[in-house]
């Protein structure tokens, strides 16, 4: 691969030479707003939607990127243009944005006046092999004891890098089944989301998903709404309980890299008939058609 360049505060730097300060708010406060976009056939997918969500996260987090959304979009396309020649045609990319408030030493709680935001744009090859088998077998969704932080503490719509809660939840379910995927509940016991994905149920050809009261407003989630409309499938955002998963016909997660990850088992109980269901398959096929890439084949390519 040709040299991987990252954008860091106005400069293009080889990825292995990019450095940030140990006094950066990312480290001293765990305060990083983030986005992950992917390409399909080397074309960034819904990049502007990701950038718009990033700016909403920043507004809610009360710090700025120091560049406009238009400029950030241009810079992102520039980074990708520089790195794209190193990607073979079958390999797509993650495009990652990390923005921090810059230097912010926690001692006084004051952000130094001279502090400038830290802006990083990184591309990485998208390795889909971890999810490849789940398109056929479905995954095992498990509810951990760890609950998602309530929106009163940290609104899940702020896409941020403070992944302690999600990581604890994920490692907890893997104690029961090494391939389990966490499905976090909120503090009232309602379904929320996974460490990196939204969750959907299908019952009698009706799709249901938690509302964004307790989960990220995923861009892939929005794509499901779009495809469901195309396929004439009603979608409802509502409060859901573990009972609803146990009794559903089908279930799946959605996220930028894998798009749809079917779930065929929940806390040890088979969902529906234990196979990836027709609605999930139709949504996957419609998504592949939308982006001009066979999503399953790409993930399963050797």
| H or E element that contains 206 | strand 206-210
- In this chain, which of 31, 219, 248, 299 binds ligand PLP, going by CB under 6 A? 219
With binding defined as CB under 6 A, does residue 173 bind ligand PLP?
no
Of the candidate spans 77-85, 98-106, 124-132, 195-203, the one that interacts with ligand PLP by CB under 6 A turns out to be: 195-203
Nearer to ligand PLP, 21 or 288 (CB): 288
Of the candidate spans 76-84, 91-99, 216-224, 262-270, the one that interacts with ligand PLP by CB under 6 A turns out to be: 216-224
Q: How far is the CB of 287 from ligand PLP (least distance, A)?
A: 12
Give the burial string for 30-64 (b: 16+ CB within 10 Å, else e). Answer: ebbbbbbbbbbeeebbbbeebbebbbebbeebebe
Contact criterion met (CB below 8 Å) for 31 and 61: yes
Q: How far is the CB of 38 from ligand PLP (least distance, A)?
A: 8
CA distance 112 to 244: 49
Of the candidate spans 66-74, 111-119, 218-226, 269-277, the one that interacts with ligand PLP by CB under 6 A turns out to be: 218-226
Nearer to ligand PLP, 196 or 262 (CB): 196
User: What is the distance of C-alpha 180 from the center of its chain?
Assistant: 17
Give the burial string for 107-140 (b: 16+ CB within 10 Å, else e). Answer: eeeeeeeebebbbbbbbeebebeebbebbeebbb
Nearer to ligand PLP, 198 or 264 (CB): 198
With binding defined as CB under 6 A, does residue 98 bind ligand PLP?
no
Backbone angles phi, psi at 191, to 5 degrees: -65, 140
Contact criterion met (CB below 8 Å) for 138 and 265: yes
Residue window 239-278: x/- pattern of binding to ligand PLP, with contact defined by CB under 6 A: ---------------xxx----------------------
Q: How far is the CB of 144 from ligand PLP (least distance, A)?
A: 14
- In this chain, which of 76, 123, 198, 212 binds ligand PLP, going by CB under 6 A? 198
- By CB under 6 A, the count of residues binding ligand PLP is 14
- Residues of this chain that interact with ligand PLP (CB under 6 A) are 36, 193, 196-198, 215-216, 218-221, 254-256
């Amino acid at each position: 691969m040709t040299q991987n360049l990252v954008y860091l505060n106005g400069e293009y730097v080889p990825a292995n030479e990019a450095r940030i300060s140990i006094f950066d708010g990312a480290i001293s406060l765990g305060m990083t707003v983030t986005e992950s976009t992917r390409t399909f056939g080397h074309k960034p997918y819904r990049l502007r939607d990701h950038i718009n969500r990033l700016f909403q996260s920043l507004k809610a987090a009360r710090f700025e990127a120091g560049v406009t959304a238009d400029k950030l979009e241009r810079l992102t396309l520039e980074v990708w243009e520089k790195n794209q020649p190193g990607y073979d045609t079958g390999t797509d990319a993650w495009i990652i944005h990390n923005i921090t408030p810059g230097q912010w030493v926690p001692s006084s709680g004051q952000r130094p006046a001279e502090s400038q935001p830290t802006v990083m744009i990184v591309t990485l090859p998208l390795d889909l092999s971890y999810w490849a088998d789940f398109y056929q077998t479905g995954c095992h969704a498990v509810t951990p004891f760890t609950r998602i932080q309530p929106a009163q503490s940290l609104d899940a719509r702020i896409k941020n890098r403070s992944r302690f809660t999600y990581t604890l939840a994920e490692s907890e379910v893997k104690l029961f089944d090494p391939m389990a995927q966490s499905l976090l509940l909120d503090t009232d016991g309602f379904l929320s989301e996974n460490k990196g994905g939204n969750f959907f149920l299908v019952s009698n050809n009706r799709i249901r998903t938690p509302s964004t009261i307790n989960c990220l407003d995923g861009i892939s989630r929005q794509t499901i709404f779009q495809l469901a409309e195309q396929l004439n499938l009603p979608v409802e955002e509502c409060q859901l309980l573990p009972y609803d998963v146990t009794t559903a016909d089908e279930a799946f997660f959605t996220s930028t890299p894998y798009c749809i990850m079917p779930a065929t088992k929940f806390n040890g109980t088979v969902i529906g008939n234990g196979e990836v269901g027709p609605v999930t398959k139709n949504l996957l096929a419609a998504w592949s058609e939308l982006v001009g890439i066979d999503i399953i084949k790409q993930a399963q390519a050797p």
